[in-house]
A = this chain, B = another copy of it.
Amino acid sequence: MSPAVVDATNAPRRRQARSATTRLKLLEAALHEFAAHGFEATSTRAIATAAETQQPQINYHFSSKEALWRAAVDHLFERLDDVVLRQVEASPPVTDERSEFAGHVRAFVHAAAQLPELNRIMVHEATVASDRLAWIVDRHVRPRFEALTRAWRALRSKGVVADIDETVLYYSIVGAASLPYVNAPEALLLGHDTLDETFIDRHADALVAIFLGPNGTDA
């Protein structure tokens, strides 16, 4: 093939590849900025600069700032499921429901540390009612809330865990598991690196022991 023909056939492909790259870089930059500052306080210019592109690219690829936010949140929850699944699969197989629950608590602690953006975006949004909050709760939070509370109810009715209300338990576990990573910049100022692997392991061990008793991992 002559160079002219090669150009004619490959140039569109290269453009498509670059477009996909721009889109992904915008998503990643948006996650980081929205998690750090919240939706309103994040400027589309700051996101574009972090993504090494121009501000109007946001409207071209996502039509609006809010559409970019929703795409970034969807992307983030996909990654959460990946991380949790990988963690659960990497742990030794479990025989009973209580150690299965313990495994999920451990997995969620590691995911919260690995994806601090998730719980940061949640607390930025959850402090006031809004269309964005209603959207994220309907689409992502409620199914997870119901899965966790259902599992806890099952353990509770069998009498193998403490007699604690499921909503109390949900918020206590999520709050205890996420705050060290949501507030990592604060912890650093206090002289503690919560993103250190040994901290994360101690944290996961402590939460399993606290919420499921000293033998949380065994039968």
Contact residues of A with B, CB < 8 Å?
35-41, 120, 122-129, 133-134, 137-138, 141-142, 145, 162, 164-165, 167-169, 171-180, 182-183, 185-190, 192, 194, 199, 202-203, 206-207, 209-211
Q: Which among B138, B169, B190 is the interface contact of A206 at CB below 8 angstroms?
A: B169
4 nearest CB pairs, A to B: A175-B179, A40-B41, A175-B175, A126-B186
Q: Is the CB of B183 within 8 A of A127?
A: yes
Q: Is the CB of B37 within 8 A of A141?
A: no
Q: Is the CB of B171 within 8 A of A133?
A: no
Q: Is the CB of B168 within 8 A of A202?
A: yes
Neighbouring B residues of A168 by C-beta, 8 Å = 180, 199, 202-203, 206
Q: Is the CB of A183 within 8 A of B40?
A: no
Neighbouring B residues of A38 by C-beta, 8 Å = 37-38, 40-41, 124
Q: Is the CB of B186 within 8 A of A176?
A: no
Q: Is the CB of B120 within 8 A of A127?
A: yes
Q: Is the CB of A167 within 8 A of B192?
A: yes
Q: Is the CB of B189 within 8 A of A134?
A: yes
Q: Is the CB of A185 within 8 A of B124?
A: no
A162 to B185, CA, bound (A): 27
